Structure 1
Amino acid sequence: MYLFLVLIAIGTTHALDIVSRDEWGARPPTNVVPQSNPVPYVVIHHSVEPEVCYTKEDCIQAMQTMQDMHQIDNGWADIGYSFAVGGDGNAYEGRGWSAEGAHAPGYNSRSIGICVIGNWMEAVPSEKQLQTVHELIEYGVELGMISGSYGLIGHREATETLCPGDLLFEEITTWPHFVQV
């Protein structure tokens, strides 16, 4: 009860749960390039594989699988995304707020990359998943990590790809900060 009152007093009333790298068992990055905050962009992605996860245990497995693909298969320094959002309604810390990502050419040093875990070509993420994305962005703005006047783009706007899936892309075009680049 006391913790809740303290959070209200400082203006953070989120129900947002960010699962830390330690909690999901992330390996350390092989290199970290610092990123200046606040960033002017948020880039939305989908994972395709792994598919949407619905429990914390399955989402932890999804994060570990993505980190393996990015670090081992692609030879990147870490998982490419800043954060990922699971179907369980949790946000999962990838590179975090202040480390340059590897998710969108031309935008990596000036954006937060959020992967919505699942394949969104023919389906839209659940309201729970979408709400978590909104809360994560709002929290980033409150922390001063994302500019209050940020532009929101889909990964397909940065490079030739179908990401973040046709139906998720259609969804984000209705969001207030969406911009065409």
Structure 2
Amino acid sequence: MRTIQDSAVAEKHLPDIQSNFYVSDEGNIYVGRGWDWANTYANQTLAVTFMGDYGRFRPSAKQLEGVQFLLAHAVANRNLEVDYKLVAQNQTKSSKSPGAYVFEEIRNWPHFYGCNMDGAPACGIELGMKPESWDSKQ
């Protein structure tokens, strides 16, 4: 976690780590910016990062369960709306993140929102966001 934070500050010139939470292959959940600070991707969003290379490897069952637990916890504690929309980074900008294997998994989850896919509206348009707002530093 410290390496991720150091990289964000030194290499990307950000004030802190990028995502709100990080989930390891073992299913451990690490606090990045937490609930109370905006992530660097877009306001009104919760950024959860799968730790690993999922262009080459499949996420573990424990990691998938960890992310699902975090989302359920967020809803139960009103940190996330009951009708939240799950969007992957590769839907919001040109990116390989979260990796093909993670994307394959999460696109089957109940809250997955297919924005920017198959003629669907741009991600965040229902929040009044413009496509370029996903790339802004918050």
Deviations along 1:121-177, one digit per CA (max 9) or x if unpaired, are 132210001100000010011110101000001101111101100111111100000
Contact 1:98 1:145 in 2 (8 A): no
Gaps of 5+ in 2: 116-138
Root-mean-square deviation over aligned CA pairs? 0.9
**Residue 80, structure 1, aligned to residue 18, structure 2:** yes
Partner of residue 139, structure 1:
73
Partner residue of 2:28 out of 59, 70, 90: 90
SS of 1:115's equivalent? strand
Structure 1 runs (4+) deviating above 2 angstroms are none
Partner of residue 93, structure 2:
159
Partner of residue 63, structure 2:
129
CA distance in structure 2 between the aligned counterparts of 1:147 and 1:66, rounded to whole angstroms: 28
Q: What TM-score, normalized by structure 2, do the two folds share?
A: 0.80
Q: What TM-score, normalized by structure 1, do the two folds share?
A: 0.62
- Aligned-residue identity in percent: 31
Contact 1:87 1:126 in 2 (8 A): yes
Q: Aligned AA for 2:73?
A: Y
The higher radius of gyration belongs to 1
Gaps of 5+ in 1: 1-62
SS of 1:92's equivalent? strand
Q: Aligned AA for 1:83?
A: F
* Higher RCO (Cα < 8 Å, 6 or more apart): 1
Is the strand fraction higher in 1 or 2?
1
CA distance in structure 2 between the aligned counterparts of 1:168 and 1:95, rounded to whole angstroms: 22
CA distance in structure 2 between the aligned counterparts of 1:97 and 1:124, rounded to whole angstroms: 27
SS of 1:84's equivalent? strand
